[in-house]
């Protein structure tokens, strides 16, 4: 049997998703999803709303399990791990949540220090050195004393990024990192993702709707629709795709393979029925 040209799995893969099927009730979210994340790379996962991008992150981190197929992370089938194994896997993965998810009762320093205090017994001077170095990496060492309410949206996202890297994860997952940011803040976060990935030697997975921003830093991109990967490759390769659903997504067209109208009966017939009832 000929090899699937979309299959980029191999010894350098950190995440391998193979023929994954996943249902939410009776609704199929994935129907044979295949993708791979290479060590040291930035991999973008894009697609219209409701196509399962966040569900994919939940599968990777062991929060849910596929109906069939396999999700391997660090060479382990996540579905076969017990509670202790899943916890150990998650300790190797950092997460930047949508909107930062900072703890509002803690200042910037303590937000970044929180995972370290929870999972280690580092002496206080060493902990302080670690936190200060991560804040310096995101350009916010001078904001250590501020409370989350005093931060702009871009600053809050950068604090959350410092917290995500404070435990030196092997994989860093970004869930919609650009939502709500102005162009300047978006550019700063975008540059930080690339710089931190290269400087720390980590592997990054970026889920985003922002095609231009994520395309400028991603080594490999996947577009998901209809439960499967409909296109993959570099940003340049995706731009040359002739697939209608890919063109619609990249160009932001209101109607196409992803329809503007939710399925419904005949509009005029419904109006007539309403008139008769009135």
Residue-range domain boundaries for the chain: 13-92+169-277
- Give the global pTM: 0.81
At residue 2, does pLDDT exceed 50? no
Whose structure tokens read 């702009």?
152
pLDDT at 3: 36
CATH code linked to domain 13-92+169-277:
3.40.50.300
Task: Kindly report, residue by residue over 71-114, the tens digit of the pLDDT.
Answer: 999 999 999 999 999 999 998 998 888 776 888 899 999 999 99
Burial zone of 251 (CB within 10 Å; 0-12 exposed, 13-18 middle, 19+ buried):
exposed
pLDDT at 143: 93
Answer yes or no: is pLDDT of 166 > 50: yes
- In percent, the amount of the chain with pLDDT more than 90 equals 41
Q: pLDDT (tens digit, 9 = 90+) per residue, 106-165? A: 999 999 999 999 888 899 999 999 999 999 989 899 999 999 999 988 889 889 999 989
Phi and psi at residue 123, to the nearest 5°: -60, 145
pLDDT tens sequence across 234-278: 877 777 777 777 777 776 666 666 665 667 888 888 888 888 887
Q: Is the pLDDT of residue 192 over 50?
A: yes
Whole-number Cα distances in Å, 58 to 39, 53, 63, 173, 258:
20, 9, 5, 11, 24
């Amino acid at each position: 049997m000929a090899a699937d040209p979309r299959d980029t799995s191999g010894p350098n893969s950190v995440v391998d998703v193979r023929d994954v099927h996943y249902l939410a009730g009776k609704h199929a979210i994935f129907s044979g999803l295949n993708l791979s994340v290479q060590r040291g790379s930035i991999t973008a996962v894009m697609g219209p709303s409701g196509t399962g991008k966040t569900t994919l992150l939940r599968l990777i981190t062991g929060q849910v399990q596929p109906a069939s197929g396999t999700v391997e992370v660090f060479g382990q089938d996540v579905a076969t791990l017990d509670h202790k194994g899943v916890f150990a896997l998650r300790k190797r993965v950092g997460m930047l949540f949508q909107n930062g998810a900072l703890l509002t009762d803690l200042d910037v320093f303590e937000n970044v220090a929180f995972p370290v205090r929870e999972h280690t017994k580092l002496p206080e001077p060493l902990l302080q050195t670690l936190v200060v170095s991560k804040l310096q990496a995101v350009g916010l060492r001078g904001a250590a004393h501020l409370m989350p309410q005093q931060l702009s949206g871009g600053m809050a996202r950068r604090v959350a990024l410092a917290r995500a890297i404070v435990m030196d994860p092997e994989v860093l997952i970004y869930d919609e990192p650009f939502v709500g940011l102005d162009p300047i803040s978006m550019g700063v976060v975008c540059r930080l993702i690339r710089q931190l990935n290269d400087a720390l030697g980590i592997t990054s997975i970026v889920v985003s709707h922002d095609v231009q921003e994520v395309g400028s830093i991603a080594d490999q991109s996947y577009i998901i629709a209809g439960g499967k990967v409909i296109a993959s490759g570099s940003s340049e390769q995706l731009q040359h795709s002739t697939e209608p659903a890919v063109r619609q997504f990249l160009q932001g067209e209101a109607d196409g393979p992803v329809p503007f109208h939710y399925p419904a009966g005949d509009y005029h017939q419904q109006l007539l029925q309403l008139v008769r009832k009135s």
